[in-house]
Structure 1
Amino acid sequence: MVKLNKIYTKTGDDGTTGLVVGPRRPKYDLRVAAYGTVDEANSTLGLVRLNCKDHEKIDAVLLRVQNDLFDLGSDLATPDTGEDLGFEPLRIIESQTIWLEETIDDFNAHLEPIKSFTLPGGSALAAHLHLARTVVRRAERDATELKAQEADVNAQAIKYLNRLSDLLFVLSRIANDNGKSDILWTPGKHR
């Protein structure tokens, strides 16, 4: 377990930060941005969970996801250098992504197929889930760009983010009275 006696270290005062392994990086580095966006997604899910009072199943799912996102942040903060680190780095594994897929299928089984794109909104919970979904999509874009530039990004981490955004969309429909309160997109020419 982690034990923090002192919260500030002053080591980042020069505009750099330490990864789990490897040299310090500038705080604007793409790897730092990628795991920072995962952290932002996790924080957004914390806000989403404040709206889950009547949705215990959704809350339980999101709690597990928040723990997985800590794993994912550690995964991105630990470049695969190919050298022996003296410990096994934390990585997103296939079973975590499969759990997302099974959870999506379980929730989606109760929904009617959508006939239009949906707009973020309806209930407060659904709107917050959509916000979290867009932050997760940004994390996915950051991780994908990082993989293109540095190549040592765990492919499962990117898959996990992709499935997570799908799960958040499905959960937004559940939060909107199983899709009955979804706000459907109406193209401008049809208004």
Structure 2
Amino acid sequence: MPIGDGTEMMDTLYPIFRLSEERFEVVVAGPEARTYHGVMHEIPPQENVPWDITREQPSYHIRATEAFSDVNPADYDGLFLSGGRAPEYLRYDEDLLGIIRHFFEHNKPVAMVCHGVELAAAAGCLQGRKATTVAKCALDITQFGGTYADDPFVSDGNLVSCRTWHDYALLFKPFLKLLQKTQVMGNGASEQVHA
């Protein structure tokens, strides 16, 4: 799971805990192995002046135990692209883009939520693919040759996507099925595998 400063914490912590419950080891990676600042995004309810877009505020911190440059994607069975503002600058990291391409080229399970789509788009992996994301990121799919669906959840081969963490109830069963299928096919040799 790639992260950076500005990672949305609900997008990120829920998958870490949910995948861990199924005995997948989630390895968190960043530009460097260090602690990063998370954020919370929400459209505030009942504001005097309504918000057209999410408001950002500080949230928890999260530690990346690996640097992108040290990750060998062949050692991993799946990829989870979480959202927040981090993808805005992570999409320029060539090490990360190479990791993402590996998962698509080898047809390994990939899940993405919200702004995580910016990473798959920058890696050139959405051509001919159908996906969903938060509406303000639809161009990240269509400008890169993909088809945007304004649905809570979309499954397209090895790629599963949802708009925001509010749609996670629809995302995780199909993503876990893909990971378990990969594990059965021999890509995950141990009882606890990497996602």
Given the two structures, how large is their TM-score scaled by the length of structure 1? 0.29
Q: Which has the higher contact order (CA 8 A, sep 6+)?
A: 1
Report the structure, 1 or 2, having the larger strand content: 2
Given the two structures, how large is their TM-score scaled by the length of structure 2? 0.29
| Structure exhibiting the larger radius of gyration computed from Cα positions | 1
